[in-house]
Amino acid sequence: MALYLVVLFTFLSGSLFAAESFGGIRFHSSVLPEHKEFLKADLKFLYRLPVQKVSQDLFQITELSFITGPSLHYWLVERVKHIVGEGFQATNQTVKTSPYANFPATPLPLLRIKPVARAGAAPYVQALSVTIMSNMSATYYNFSKETKILRTFHLDGMAVPFTSTRAGVIKVGEGLFHKIRLINANPVAQVNMITRLMTLFHEARHSDGTGEHAGFYHDYCPPNHSYALNLACDKSGNGPYSVGAIVMKQLLKTCTTCTAAEKSKLEAKVADSLNRVLKVSDVAKVNQISTQIKRLQYIVTLYKTKKNAYYASEVTKLEKQITSLRTSLAKAQKSMTPPPANPRPEGVWKPRYLQDTQALMEKSLQK
């Protein structure tokens, strides 16, 4: 009840808590003090990360030339620049509009069509109905682009125009810190910081993308999926769920205080995220191999009508080829990671560089 009153008062007053910049991220006055301190601890943990045994997947998905704590921190804060609390509301006081004709002439993200449910399938029900975290930039940027009316947030006196998804405004809610999400009772235990960072990196990916991929929106999971008929899956191999999972796998390697049970729970979160990346088959390769098999089978049928040693020998060779092709066909038919979408952001924003974000974090650590 007390927490509810605090959040309510924050919403009504709009400035109960002081705004603060830390490590390249500006915390809005609507962020509860204890939530801000948890997130600051997460950023410190990430920045000081002793990176080791870096996977090729992490290099590919972040497009970083080298992986260190500061470089991962840079990747994050280049996409997450402002954090607002659950009490923040987009009103006439906080959002201003103006005509804007400089949006790129690229396609808008496609409308997501909900698939038909399987007969007798039980719908997936979210266990936690409060806000965890959401990237507001993608929605406000694409809406501004579609209407050619620029939306600008006014955050504690700072104007933040949505001229790109890289505006980087993230809303955090009580759900991110809820006890049901804690693996360890201590909110700043490494295992809990890794869990929150996974969510931050997931949301950061929503600040990327061009045209129909601007914002990396989620897709509906298919009817036979564990999250069936919910907007909780990705059709690209480098979307938010892939980013969150790959980063968590790296952070897991450096967790010095995680117990075996805690590591198992983090591994389960990684598996859950990767399960949300919808798999695809290499259809072209499947068709090509199937055609080859049919052609060879036809030749074998013809050769078997010939009654001499030469053709018998050829049949043996061809049947070995068919067996090998069937093995290749089985591999091609197995599920595989979908192709990546173009992560390049569009629009107008002021980029930051590694030396900038390092300087900002070092300044914050000295306070």
Alpha-carbon distances, residue 129 vs 6, 197, 278 (angstroms) = 19, 20, 24
Assess contact for 194 and 255: CB atoms under 8 A: yes
By residue count, the chain amounts to 367
pLDDT score of 131: 77
Report the percentage of the chain scoring pLDDT > 90.
Answer: 71
The answer for residues whose C-beta is within 8 angstroms of residue 68's C-beta and 6 or more apart is 49, 51
C-beta of residue 329 within 8 angstroms of C-beta of residue 281: no
pLDDT band at 119 (very low <50, low <70, confident <90, very high): very low
Which range of 92-106, 220-234, 304-318 scores highest in mean pLDDT? It is 92-106
Q: Report phi then psi at 27, rounded to 5.
A: -90, 120
CB 226 within 8 A of CB 273: no
Write out the two tokens for 105: 């002439």
Cβ atoms of 218 and 244 within 8 Å: the answer is no
Alpha carbons 247 and 72: distance in angstroms, whole number = 9
Encoded tokens for 305: 């009508």
Give the global pTM: 0.82
- Of the candidates 77, 82, 56, 79, the residue with the CA atom closest to the CA atom of residue 67: 56
pLDDT digits (tens, 9 = 90+) for 335-361: 678 889 999 999 999 999 999 999 999
Model confidence pLDDT, tens digit, residues 237-263: 999 999 999 999 999 999 999 999 999
pLDDT score at 125: 40
Angle between helices 260-275 and 190-205 (to 10 degrees): 10
Task: Give the tens place of pLDDT for each residue, 35-68.
Answer: 999 999 999 999 999 877 899 999 999 999 999 9
Query: Quick count: other Cβ atoms within 10 Å of Cβ 289?
Result: 20
Distance in angstroms (rounded) separating the CA atoms of residues 50 and 125: 38
Question: Domain segments of the chain: what residues?
Answer: 2-115+124-278, 283-333
Structure tokens, 318 = 């061809």
For the sheet with 169-172, list strands across it: 20-22, 25-27, 82-84, 169-172, 133-135
pLDDT for the residue 329: 82
Q: Which residue shows structure tokens 């003090």?
A: 33
Phi/psi at 189 (nearest 5 deg)? -65, 150
Helix, strand and coil in the chain, % to nearest 5: 45, 10, 40
pLDDT of 283 reads 65
Q: 12-26, 82-96, 140-154, 289-303 — which is least confidently predicted? A: 12-26
Q: Report the distance separating Cα 242 and Cα 246, nearest Å.
A: 6
Residue 245 CA: distances (Å) to CA of 7, 39, 139, 198: 31, 19, 23, 7
For 234, list phi and psi in degrees, rounded to 5.
Answer: -120, 140
pLDDT of residue 105: 94
Report the pLDDT averaged over residues 126-130: 48
**Predicted confidence (pLDDT) per residue in 256-275, tens digit:** 999 999 999 999 999 999 99
